Structure 1
Amino acid sequence: MKALVLPDGSLNLPEALRERHGLTRGGEVLVEDTGEAIVLRTLDQAVARAQALSRRLVAGRSGASVDDFLAARMGDTGAE
């Protein structure tokens, strides 16, 4: 697909692409410069990517879950 970048920097994404990614009414995207490419991600895509990375980083590690963190904090305060 082609997209047009206007002289003012605006980017016009094709309708099919906007529909596929839930941007039919417009919206924000995150822009990543990888050095070799420009990557656009919706906010939902960026959150899902961060969650997947977090799961990989803590997989199998004891004490790495949110529940473990909260339990430790409760132990620090003596609250039950």
Structure 2
Amino acid sequence: MTVQVNITPNGRMSLPADIRKRLGLTGGGAVYLDETADGVVLRTVPQIVAQAQALARHYRDAPGASVDDFLATRAAENGE
């Protein structure tokens, strides 16, 4: 879906009400803006959390990924 959003002289933009409702955004809520090579991407807090959780799931079972493994590696590097 592509929607034109106008920018006021002081730099503010308003998201259309139907989009805010669909995304669960309320007044005073936050969105994150990512600048990419293709333009700008807005993400909601739940979207950011879901992305972080997916990334963590990807790495959690990797060899050496536990806190104990990290601490053991650091201790070995420090000669302990």
Q: State the TM-score, normalizing by the size of structure 1.
A: 0.67
% identity of equivalent residues: 40
Match of 2:75 in 1: none
Match of 2:11 in 1: 9
User: After TM superposition, which residue ranges in structure 1, 4 or more long, deviate above 6 angstroms?
Assistant: none
2:24 is the counterpart of 1:52: no
Q: Structure 1: give runs of 5+ residues left out of the alignment.
A: none
Note the C-alpha offset of 1:30.
0.9
Q: What is the alpha-carbon root mean square deviation over aligned residues?
A: 2.4
Alignment of 1:60-75 (within 5 A): 60-64=61-65, 68-69=66-67, 72=68
Q: Distance in 1 between matches of 2:17 and 2:28?
A: 11
Q: Structure 2: give runs of 5+ residues left out of the alignment.
A: 73-80
Q: Secondary structure at the match of 1:10?
A: coil
Count residues in correspondence: 69
Q: Distance in 2 between matches of 1:22 and 1:63?
A: 38
Q: Secondary structure at the match of 1:51?
A: helix
